[in-house]
Amino acid sequence: MTFPCVAKGGYDIAMEGVHAAVKAGFRVTTNTTLFDGADPTVCVRTLTS
Amino acid sequence: MRTVLGETCTSYDDSALRGIGPSTPSQTAWAVLGLLAAGDTRSDSVAKGIRWLVTKQMENGSWDEAAAGRNNERSTQGQGFRGCFILPITFTGLFSAPRVDDLQARDGERNCSSSVRIIRRRTWCAQIFDGETPDGSPSLASLDGCTYVLKQKLMGRKKYPLVLMLEPLFRCNLACAGCGKIQYPAHILKASLRPKIASRQSRVRYPDGCDPGGEPLLHPQMPEIVAGLVARKKYVYMCTNALLLKESCTCSNEQVPLLFGSRRRTARAS
């Protein structure tokens, strides 16, 4: 069973939206859960790029 | 059924992983709530679940999610939607108060409306108070929030509202496993909060408004609701899955004017 929220492409669409909102001057924050073993550098790159 | 429940992050995908691992208060509580909702009020499972929760409650009234299980085992468990929260960004928050320079640029150069001036003054105060956030946008809500709390303390109020959480709709453009909102019957999923009601709610004194619930960008009158709250000087924090965010931000069409539209309407309102 595949759920739409894990469907391919959803992440990219969401990130485009986040970038558009930041560009438009809105304050954007994320609700992110990081688990043991997550690579901090990847997280930083994801959230700041 | 196991009264004491544990799960792993992938238990939705692999049924063999369900109901294993150390028990956690949240999952035990969910199981008890599920049984109660199904009409099971007298079974041993419900009684054991409640007893377990009562014995695990800490002095401060809360529970320790990270506590070791009954055999002293520990595991990393995701509290939330199994499998879905591994998306690094599931929800994003938006403050509806934009930067002043953006407002001035977009709302006509000559006359700033009074609401824009209010935001400008607040921005100025906020800059003095705590400088700017790393991305350059002044933290508008922080000063107002501090002032509000301080005022309540000075007045000796022990209980006061901090945030109004509106759930303008339960409808969503995702179907995440484990989400309770989208399980509601169709007539509830079709319903949307009317702006008038939102406006009435916003008369209550509180500094922040928040839109959780379903996906707020699906609400046809969301621009109106946000504009109404902004006009009442509330900070609006919107939880969205961001799938419709790009078109809401970039479309200048009045039909999908959530972000820009709310600014324009705010500016025009006064």
pLDDT, one tens digit per residue, over A6-48 is: 567 888 888 888 888 777 777 777 777 777 787 888 877 776 7
H or E stretch covering A28? strand A27-30
Q: What is the pLDDT of residue B230?
A: 72
Residue B205 · residue B161 · CB < 8 Å: yes
The alpha-carbon gap from A1 to the nearest alpha carbon of chain B, in Å, equals: 8
What DSSP string describes B85-110? TTSS-S-EEEES---HHHHHHHS-SS
Residues of A in contact with B260 (CB under 8 A): 24
Residue type, A25: G
A13·B176 Cβ contact <8 A: no
Residues of B in contact with A16 (CB under 8 A): 245-246
B247: confidence class by pLDDT, cuts 50, 70, 90: confident
Rounded Cα distance, B154 and B60, in Å: 25
Can you read off the two tokens belonging to residue B215? Answer: 């996906």
pLDDT, one tens digit per residue, over B155-203 is: 998 877 776 777 788 888 887 777 777 778 888 887 777 777 666 665 5
B132: confidence class by pLDDT, cuts 50, 70, 90: very low
Q: What is the pLDDT of residue B161?
A: 73
Q: What average pLDDT does this structure show over B61-76?
A: 61
> How many distinct helices (H) and strands (E) make up chain B?
10, 4
Rounded Cα distance, B126 and B122, in Å: 6
Q: What average pLDDT does this structure show over B90-97?
A: 30
Does A13 reach chain B within 8 Å, measured CB to CB? Answer: yes
H-only helix segments in B24-113: 25-37, 44-56, 100-106
Q: What average pLDDT does this structure show over B88-112?
A: 34
Sign of the dihedral through C-alpha B181, B226, B132, A15: positive
Query: From the candidates B13, B85, B94, B264, which should be mutated to test the interface with A, based on the most A CB atoms within 10 A?
Result: B94
Can you read off the two tokens belonging to residue B60? Answer: 């401060």
- B208 three-class SS: strand
Q: What is the pLDDT of residue B257?
A: 32
B residues 70-99 lying closer than 8 A (beta carbon) to A: 76, 78, 80-81, 83-85, 87-99
Mean pLDDT of chain B: 62
- Residue found under tokens 């179907």: B175
Residues of A in contact with B133 (CB under 8 A): 27
Q: What average pLDDT does this structure show over B88-117?
A: 34
| Partners of residue B163 on adjacent β-strands | B208
Can you read off the two tokens belonging to residue B129? Answer: 């108070």
Residue type, B43: S
Can you read off the two tokens belonging to residue A13? Answer: 């669409």
Q: What average pLDDT does this structure show over B200-229?
A: 71
Residue type, B140: L
- Whether B89 has a pLDDT exceeding 50, the answer reads no
Rounded Cα distance, A12 and B161, in Å: 37
ipTM attached to this prediction:
0.81
What DSSP string describes B121-161? HHHHHHHHHH-B-TTS-B-HHHHHHHHHHHHHHHTT-S---
Does B239 reach chain A within 8 Å, measured CB to CB? Answer: yes
Q: What is the pLDDT of residue B143?
A: 66
H or E stretch covering B250? helix B245-250
Residues of A in contact with B90 (CB under 8 A): 5, 31-32
The alpha carbons of chain B give a radius of gyration, in whole angstroms, of: 23
Contacts of B19 (CB under 8 A, 6+ apart): B1, B2, B5, B6, B7
Residues of A in contact with B95 (CB under 8 A): 26-27
